[in-house]
Chains A and B, each alone.
Chain A
């Protein structure tokens, strides 16, 4: 569990960073907080020729809140998100989810961009991005592009990024003040990766009928998941016991998780329903 040999550069601009990645010809990797990638290297599951540390590049550590939504720089750390009081109204689902990420030490280093690029289906940020229809801005040798979250995550720890592309920010669309939301996650110990998690939000009309339901699931597939059948089952309904039970059953039926040493597949499948039902009742019962 000692690191393999690698070269190290900490460029001062995005252009330089991209140039280093291009020169590395697939062997060079960006380094953000190192909280996922350094352990991977210590286990010798990756042996990059060079790490291109993004920490000296200016402008990647901003949280901007505007009309279009919340734009988060790639190098914003979990700690920065949790310390930003504006998010409680601008995007309350986000800090509620990030509160479940790892432990203090890791939150002080781990970054939003690193988590999105790492694309762990058990991580919170990728599912939040997917649930919120976020757009990820990247830069590479072919220039800039914006990738909808739904197109970013292609498999377990796999993305549609090219090897010379760097995530610069993620935009989470604006959030109406009246929006209802819930976040539920269950892990074996506080801070552990989730056995399953649910992020949900919806808008409702004056009579409490649900529209625009968005439901994301953590840790029950190869990628972060949107539960489109459960969303369809929820839209047009009022939240009551019958709705909760029905939507929960649809959600459970919609996922096909694997079992592992921490929990069986059967358990995880059921847990999705339980957590969704709890997230929805929290959403419905939260005082506006």
Chain B
């Protein structure tokens, strides 16, 4: 199927186009929250719980209030009535009691939970004040590990008698029967460690209250300004129109930044209560303990095969540590891990139970490829073990099980309780295509000879694995197109920019649809002041949803241009044709777009779609392992994906490479370690080891557009997350392959040097 085309002279879409945002950023003209200040503003700082679990006995702020420049200390006692809890984005029937209150009143449930907010003339003074607040907490036994949490011996929420908010069931076909009929089964246990997304720019907010108008303005919006505006209005008991969310430049999101957090409410509360602008910039230490964590998932899973390597079924259990509360999208990784674990493979029968359990750790949320990265690690590890167990080549076993074009749309497991997306299906594609491309480009045939070989003191290994990436999250996106006085077209989008190049993408699509040069499109995005309603950027949706809405708006814009031009030319609309910004009649008269400025064009476009897109692909890794130090070098990494339609190969490859390297951080070095008492042991970037530019090779990527998505007029699919999804499984399999002579099983991440070395040592000791 070809994507529905809009006839155009331009061909920005599909091009290799430099980001329009970069002129601003490279000249130091970006405007991030910290670049914005207001006269008379107060700075906020948060007193956070120093213990994982306890009862607040006393908060004495008198010494803090006595310091010069310190204006107020807000505690739960300043909040009238019930402490508001943060609304869920994807509610289900059982999570209600686990919602996060915006400040701790009686009980603290994680190290880092806000218990008080200081407002002072400067951030330094506010921090001085934190040091002299007397906080008296009676500690309670911390619930940290899965066994302790799921035993329900110590409850986090006394009102509900369980630490398990929800058990999701992913079902398809008859898994029992599939296992009964199997020739071969493989079962194993896995663990992916707790991580966070770590955007380079930490969170920040600037809240202003206009008492005369009764309006609240919150700068520092990201990801989903419209949802957050609704949430804020509800918690503040204000009408929605009384709250504006203003988006500035955003230094990365990756699923964590831009969700509604307790500080969002408290900063706004301070501005409203005291009538002063209140600003807060999160420091890195509190960022690590306060922003959403993710990925802490253990599993016990099993695959059933026929003797010729065809998957018959999958079953097992997943256990996700969601931390102390259920945050707005805290359940997303849990249900995703269950629904997407089958990934790119044809799995006719599935039964998975995915347990979400609470613990005294920072509450979790989404991180790029939520649940999918985890599930892909589990199934790819099982696939390689099955290949060995069945004596089938690792490429061959995958070829026998990858979903083909003939099977599309291909339904995945149904997940209950429903959060609105119980059922889903892969929309289009032929998984063997990127697979074979990677086999070829990685030089698998030659490299196969390296498997397990010891060369110059290092063991070499290779692996391949495939993935699917859900994108284009519904339900809708809106844009508005307006003809500006200078003849440029203003494009106001509900999508938000989190550093992914949104302005470039939307400009390309609009320029092609309007047949105008890109320079004549000006994109405004992410603030609630531009549109009545919008959705934002999450679930790899901005290009597909925002871009499709742009097409709709462009159609209406051109129709409006025609009406104005026809009136000026004194002809009927049918007699006018429009191309390249000029309306013409058959007899050669014309009206350029700039001439109808006075008539005004201001149109709304939108795109509704509840059907996700599924980008899919394959990646390959070649590693060398130093058995003396446990160091793993990634020697080559190749990834190919089919994104339905490539809008901009440069920004696309930026996403894929960036995600792959972020994935290396997940596999090798990033971990949020807690002590047994529930203290977060990671306080800075010297502890939380993100990949540095020089740590990994250049990721080689190939993008395909062989199977456009039937779900949207662009034919495009979300592509912001896929790159990270296969990294865990593929790299772990490459390490297993390198160390095959030791028979090690890298089933626990991260593969830190210490852990790799210990796996080898333990295998040696056993032998």
Contact = CB atoms under 8 A, between A and B. Distances in A.
24 contacts: A2-B123, A2-B283, A4-B124, A4-B128, A5-B124, A43-B285, A44-B127, A44-B131, A186-B631, A188-B669, A188-B752, A189-B689, A189-B691, A190-B692, A192-B689, A195-B753, A261-B671, A261-B682, A263-B752, A264-B758, A267-B630, A267-B757, A270-B761, A274-B629
B673 A189 contact: no
Contacts of B285: 1, 43
Contacts of B123: 2
Contacts of A188: 669, 689, 752-753
Contacts of B128: 4-5
Interface string A260-280: 011110110011001000100
Contacts of A39: 684
Contacts of B572: none
Interface SS, B side = loop
A3 interface: yes
A270 B131 CA distance: 42
Interface string B258-287: 000000000000000000000000011100
B686 A193 contact: yes
Contact of A263 (B283, B671, B754): B754
A186 B285 CA distance: 26
Interface of B: 123-124, 127-128, 131, 283-285, 628-631, 669, 671, 673, 681-684, 686-687, 689, 691-692, 694-695, 752-754, 757-758, 761
A262 B689 CA distance: 10
A264 B689 contact: no
Contacts of A5: 124, 128
A39 B687 CA distance: 14
Given A1-B284, A5-B124, A43-B285, A266 B758 contact: yes
Nearest to B287: A1
Contacts of B682: 261
B629 A189 contact: no
Chain A's interface size range is 20 to 34
Interface of A: 1-5, 39, 43-44, 186, 188-193, 195, 261-264, 266-267, 270-271, 274, 278
Nearest to B282: A1
Nearest to A47: B131
Nearest to A266: B758
B283 A261 contact: no
Contacts of A3: 124
Interchain residue pairs A-B with the least CB separation, the first 9:
A1-B283, A263-B754, A274-B628, A267-B754, A2-B124, A261-B673, A2-B127, A186-B629, A261-B681
A243 B671 CA distance: 38
B753 A189 contact: no
Contacts of B691: 189
B754 to A, nearest CB: 4
Nearest to A196: B629
A1 B691 CA distance: 23
B753 A267 contact: yes
Contacts of B683: 43
Most-contacted residue by chain A among B629, B669, B694, B758 (CB, 10 A)? B629
Contacts of B758: 264, 266-267
A188 B631 CA distance: 8
Contacts of A192: 686, 689
B685 to A, nearest CB: 10
B354 to A, nearest CB: 28
A237 to B, nearest CB: 21
A3 B123 CA distance: 10
A39 to B, nearest CB: 8
Contacts of B131: 44
B754 A264 contact: yes
B124 A278 contact: no
A5 B673 CA distance: 32
Nearest to B127: A2
A267 B628 CA distance: 10
Contacts of A2: 123-124, 127, 283
Which of B123, B689, B694, B754 has its CB near the most chain A CB atoms (within 10 A)? B754
B701 to A, nearest CB: 23
A27 to B, nearest CB: 17
Nearest to B672: A261
Identify the interface centre among A2, A44, A186: most chain B CB within 10 Å of its CB.
Answer: A2
A262 B631 contact: no
B406 to A, nearest CB: 46
Contacts of A261: 671, 673, 681-682, 687
Contacts of A4: 124, 127-128
B447 to A, nearest CB: 26
B669 A189 contact: yes
Contacts of A263: 752-754
A240 B695 CA distance: 33
B753 A186 contact: yes
Nearest to A265: B754
Contacts of B124: 2-5
A2 B131 CA distance: 12
A195 B631 CA distance: 12
Given A188-B752, A190-B692, A263-B752, 4 more contacts: A44-B131, A189-B669, A192-B689, A263-B754
A187 B692 CA distance: 13
